[in-house]
Structure 1
Amino acid sequence: MKNFNTTDTLARRLRQLFLIALMALAAGCSTIRFTYNHGDDLLYWWLNTYLDLDSDQSSWVKKDIDSLFVWHRKTQLHDYAQLLANGQRQLAGNMTAADLMGDYKDIKARSELLAYKALPELADLARSIKPEQIAQLERKFAKNNEDFRRKFMRGDQEDQQKARFKKSMDQFELWFGRFSSEQEAALRKASDARVLDNNIWLDERVRRQKRIVALLRKVQQEKLSKDATVSELHKLVKELFDRFEAPERKAFFDAYTDQTIQMILTAVKIATPAQKAHAQKRMQGWIEDFGHLANDPQK
C-alpha cells in the first residue's frame, strides 16, 4: 500500500500548480502548454528536493501525480479560461477594487479545491515518510528561510522595499510589457505605500513549516490510519488557507491585501492602450492554451 507525505506549504505549492498557467511565469503563450504538459515531472521533482524519495515511493508518487493532472486537466482548465475571460472584460471596462477582490477570492476557492482533492494521496505519502526524510525536509526549510532573508530582509527599509518592488514589476511586465520611467515611479510609490514587515512573513513561514513537521512526526510516531491522516491534513490545509483571518494578524493581512489591490489598480490606470492591448493578447493566448490543454489528454 502506498504512503504519502506533505511538504513546505502544501496549500501554497498546490496553488502554484494552478498558477503555473494562470499567472504564467513564462515568456510566451506556447510556454504554458510546454510547462503544463511537463507539470507532473516538475511537481515530482519539487517533492523530491524536499523529501529525497526512495525508489518505492517514487513509483507510486509519480502515478498519483499523473492521476491528479488527469483530473485537473479534465475538470479545471476550462474554468480557468473563464476566469481569464472575466479578467479581459474587467480590463476592458472600469476595473474596481471589488473586481480584484472577487478575482482573489475566486482563485483562492479553486486553490482550495485542488488542495483538498489531493488529500488522499498526500495522506499516503505522509504515512510513508521516514525520520531521515523529515530531517531532509527541515534542512530544506532552513535553506528556504535563509534564501528569503537574503532576498527580502537585507539592508534597511529602502532596500527591502526595492526588492519587493522588483518582484512586483516582474509580474506587471509579464502582463503589460515594459513600463516607462514615469510609470515605474508611480508604481514604486504605490508599492512603497503597502505595509512592510518581512519579519511577519518570515514568522508565518516558520510557523507553517513547524506545523507541517509536527504533523508528519505525529503520523509517523502514532502510526495513524489513512482516514486519520486525511483528517489531520484537512485541518492543516484549512488552517493554512484561513491564516489571513487569524485575529492576531488580520489587520496586517487585510491592510496588505487592500494596498496591493490599490497598486494593481494603479498599474491598470496608468497603462497605455498599447499596454492594455498587450495584456488582452496575453490573456487570450492563455485562454486558447487552456482550451487546447483541456481538450487534448495527451502530452
Structure 2
Amino acid sequence: MQIRQTRGCKTLLLLVALTLILAGCSRINLAYRNLDTLIPWWIDDYLDLNRDQQKRFRSQLRDHLSWHCQTQLPVYLDILGQLQYQVRRDEINEATLRNHYQYAKQAIQAITEEITPTTTQLLRDLDDAQVRTLNEALEKDRRERAEKYLQPPLDRQIRERAERMGERVEHWLGTISAAQRQRILVWAHTLGEHNRVWLDNRVQWQHALSAAVAQRREAGFDDRIARLLQGGEAFWTDEYRAAFDRIEQAALDLASDLYAMSGADQRGHLDRQLENLRKDLGSLACLPESR
C-alpha cells in the first residue's frame, strides 16, 4: 500500500513516481497523458536547463513514455486483473501481497534501467552553475523534509504516520473501522523513529549523488550514476539496512491484517477501485493495438 523513496531528488525518477500515481489518482489516464508536462515541471525544481537541454530532454522523455505505455502498462493491466480476481475469490493474504510487492519492485527497477542513460547524459552535461542549483535544491529538500518529519516530537510523528496511512487505506477500502484504525496505530508505533532513519538514508544518497556529479567529467561517471539509480542499496546507511527487512515485513503484515479485518462493503469498494483503475489504464490510446 505504500512505496516510499521513489520520489524526490533522483533526476527523472518522477517516471518512477508513476507507480505512486497508479496507486492513488482517480483519473489515471489524464495524469498519464500529461506526464510529458508534469515531469519537466518537476525537473525545474531541481535543474535550470537551457533551451537545448530542455529540447533534448523532452524528446527523450517522449521516447521513455512511449516505451512505458507500449511495454509496461500491458503487464500492469494483467497484474491488476490478477489482483482483482484474487480479491473476488478472497485469496488475499501475506503471501499474495508479497508477490505483488515483489512485482512492484521489479517494475520500478525496469523503469530505472530504462531511464539511466538519459539521466546520466543530463547530469554529465550540466555546467557549474546548474550543479550549484541542483545542490541548493537538494539542500532545500533536506531542510523541508527535516522540518516536516523530524521537528515534531516522536509521539506526533507516530500519530501523523498513522493518519497518512489511514488516508491511503481508506482510498482502497473506504471508511475503516475502529479496530482497523487501531491496527494502523500499532503499525505506526512499531516503526518508532523511522522518520529519522529514512531521512538519514535519503541524505546519504543525495550526498553520493552530489559527489558523483562533481566528478561528471571523469572516467567512470556513467557507472557511478548507474549504481546510484539501479543499486541504491549500496548507498544505504547501516541503520537503514538493519531496519529494512523489519519495516518491509511490518508493512506487509499490516496490509494482510487490514484485509482480513475488512467487511463485504470494504472488499466491494476495493473491487470497484481496482476496476476503475483498470478501465482508466485500459483506455489509454498509447497502448498496443493488440490489447
Band the TM-score falls in, shorter-chain normalisation = 0.7 to 0.9
SS of 1:78's equivalent in the other structure is: helix
Q: Is the 8 A contact 2:205 2:235 kept in 1?
A: no
Counterpart pick for 2:198 among 201, 205, 208: 201
Q: Which of structures 1 and 2 has the larger relative contact order (alpha carbons within 8 angstroms, sep 6+)?
A: 1
Q: How far is the alpha carbon of 1:39 from its aligned partner?
A: 0.8
Q: How far is the alpha carbon of 1:12 from its aligned partner?
A: 5.6
- Partners of 1:151 and 1:247 lie apart in 2 by 24
> Relative to 1, partners in 2 of residues 1:265 and 1:195: Cα closer, same or farther, differing over 3 Å?
farther
> Could you tell me the percent identity over the aligned residues?
23
- Partners of 2:95 and 2:243 lie apart in 1 by 19
Counterpart pick for 1:37 among 12, 33, 46: 33
- Partners of 2:38 and 2:103 lie apart in 1 by 25
Greater share of helix: 1
User: Unpaired runs of 5+ in structure 2?
Assistant: 1-7
Quick check: 1:18 aligned with 2:19? Answer: yes
SS of 2:49's equivalent in the other structure is: coil
Quick check: 1:238 aligned with 2:230? Answer: yes
Deviations, residues 166-198 of structure 1 (Å, cap 9, x unaligned) = 221221111112223443223222332334332
Deviations, residues 214-233 of structure 1 (Å, cap 9, x unaligned) = 1111114x3x5xxx543332
Mapping of residues 42-53 of structure 1, within 5 Å: 42-53=38-49
- Partners of 1:191 and 1:82 lie apart in 2 by 32
Q: Is the 8 A contact 1:195 1:252 kept in 2?
A: no
Mapping of residues 103-182 of structure 1, within 5 Å: 103-182=100-179
- Partners of 1:186 and 1:45 lie apart in 2 by 38
TM-score normalised by L of structure 1: 0.85
> Relative to 1, partners in 2 of residues 1:280 and 1:242: Cα closer, same or farther, differing over 3 Å?
farther
- Partners of 1:34 and 1:172 lie apart in 2 by 23
> Relative to 1, partners in 2 of residues 1:11 and 1:200: Cα closer, same or farther, differing over 3 Å?
farther
Give the residue type in structure 2 aligned to 1:18: T
- Partners of 1:69 and 1:121 lie apart in 2 by 13
User: Unpaired runs of 5+ in structure 1?
Assistant: 1-6
Give the residue type in structure 2 aligned to 1:263: L
Q: How far is the alpha carbon of 1:295 from its aligned partner?
A: 4.9
SS of 1:51's equivalent in the other structure is: coil
Quick check: 1:64 aligned with 2:86? Answer: no
Alignment-derived partner of residue 269 in structure 1: 260
Q: How far is the alpha carbon of 1:17 from its aligned partner?
A: 2.4
Deviations, residues 24-68 of structure 1 (Å, cap 9, x unaligned) = 2x2x2xx11110000111111111210011112111111111111
Q: Is the 8 A contact 2:93 2:256 kept in 1?
A: yes
- Partners of 1:294 and 1:255 lie apart in 2 by 41
Q: How many residues end up aligned between the 2 structures?
A: 280
> Relative to 1, partners in 2 of residues 1:210 and 1:247: Cα closer, same or farther, differing over 3 Å?
closer
Alignment-derived partner of residue 258 in structure 1: 249
- Partners of 1:288 and 1:206 lie apart in 2 by 39
Alignment-derived partner of residue 4 in structure 1: none
TM-score normalised by L of structure 2: 0.87
Segment of structure 1 superposing worse, 12-21 or 284-293: 12-21
Q: How far is the alpha carbon of 1:119 from its aligned partner?
A: 1.8
